[in-house]
């Protein structure tokens, strides 16, 4: 078993990550099988039932798989883990905002809080200098950071525009749309900061860069699966134009992600 670049035993972080995975599984299964009880209106059901399925087929394997690889001393598993936790934070922050007037608000917010704590503990436990020394010259720093900064600025400015429109009374967002806007507002600045750190070749940038690319890739791929599932789980039609745009964004994100993973694997040999 390889020795991971960590400053203390990460077992508690792994255990907490599995607890998060278990809670996400229960919440998603409940959303699928008890949708009429959990989601009080048609708009929430159209948005969140398909997303519950996405959480089960993408979010759960990503989080559990990250822990599985990390426990076996694989560096990519350790670096995947923050991204998988960020995926949970993004999703359940959107749920909490969208259902702030229902009894699901506190469980969703608790899942966000536990994921944030586990994320912080995981990153603080990394030996970021050792990670940088291992990965320097092996991963596509410029490409990866450019994609993170570009997407982060793009979605953050879009979110700021939506917020300005709401304040000016020009647009109205409710339910899931408001939840997604708040999740973007909180998480996309992390893409920008992580991208800048990686561009400047700082240790924390190397430690978090892959995780941020992993989260972004999961969000894009999850959205593609969401578009495919939504017509079967609701009355909404398949949105071809949106699917094509997100597929292109997914490809842009997956290329540096794949190259980053390839670099890690080559540096570990």
Q: Would you state the pLDDT for residue 184? A: 93
Q: Would you state the pLDDT for residue 230? A: 84
Q: Would you state the pLDDT for residue 269? A: 66
Residues 6 or more apart whose Cβ sits within 8 Å of residue 186: 89, 90, 93
Quote the Cα angle for 77-188-58, to 5°: 45
Q: How confident is the model at residue 64 (pLDDT cuts 50, 70, 90)?
A: very high
Q: Would you state the pLDDT for residue 46? A: 84
Between 194 and 40, residue with greater pLDDT: 194
Task: Give the dihedral sign, CA 269/71/24/118.
Answer: negative
φ/ψ of residue 211, rounded to 5: -60, -40
Q: Would you state the pLDDT for residue 2? A: 57
**Across 39-48, 93-102, 167-176, 212-221, which has the greatest mean pLDDT?**
212-221
Q: What is the pLDDT of residues 50-61, one digit of tens each?
A: 999 999 999 999
Residue 268, pLDDT above cutoff 80:
no
Mark residue 175 as left, alpha or beta (left: phi above 0; alpha: psi -120 to 50; beta: remaining).
left
Q: Global pTM?
A: 0.94
- Integer angstrom CA distances of residue 198 from 73, 75, 258: 23, 17, 16
Q: What is the pLDDT of residues 192-224, one digit of tens each?
A: 999 999 999 999 999 999 999 999 999 999 999
């Amino acid at each position: 078993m390889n020795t991971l670049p960590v400053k203390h035993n990460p077992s508690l972080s792994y255990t907490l990550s599995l607890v998060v995975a278990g809670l996400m599984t229960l919440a998603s299964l409940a959303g699928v099988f008890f949708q009429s009880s959990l989601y009080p209106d048609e708009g929430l059901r159209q948005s969140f039932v398909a997303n519950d399925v996405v959480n089960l087929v993408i979010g759960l394997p990503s989080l559990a798989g990250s822990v599985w690889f990390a426990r076996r001393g694989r560096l990519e598993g350790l670096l995947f883990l923050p991204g998988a936790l960020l995926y949970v934070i993004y999703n359940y922050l959107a749920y909490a905002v969208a259902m702030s007037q229902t009894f699901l608000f506190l469980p969703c917010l608790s899942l966000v809080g536990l994921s944030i704590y586990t994320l912080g503990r995981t990153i603080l436990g990394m030996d970021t200098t050792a990670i940088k020394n291992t990965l320097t010259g092996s991963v596509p720093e410029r490409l990866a950071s450019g994609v993170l900064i570009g997407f982060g600025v793009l979605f953050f400015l879009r979110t700021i525009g939506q917020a300005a429109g709401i304040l000016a009374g020009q647009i109205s967002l409710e339910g899931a749309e408001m939840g997604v806007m708040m999740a973007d507002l909180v998480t996309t600045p992390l893409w920008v900061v992580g991208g800048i750190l990686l561009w400047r070749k700082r240790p924390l940038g190397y430690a978090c860069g892959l995780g941020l690319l992993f989260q972004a890739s999961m969000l894009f791929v999850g959205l593609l699966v969401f578009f495919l599932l939504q017509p079967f789980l609701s009355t909404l039609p398949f949105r071809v134009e949106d699917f094509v745009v997100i597929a292109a964004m997914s490809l842009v994100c997956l290329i540096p992600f794949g190259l980053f993973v390839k670099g890690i694997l080559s540096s570990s040999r």
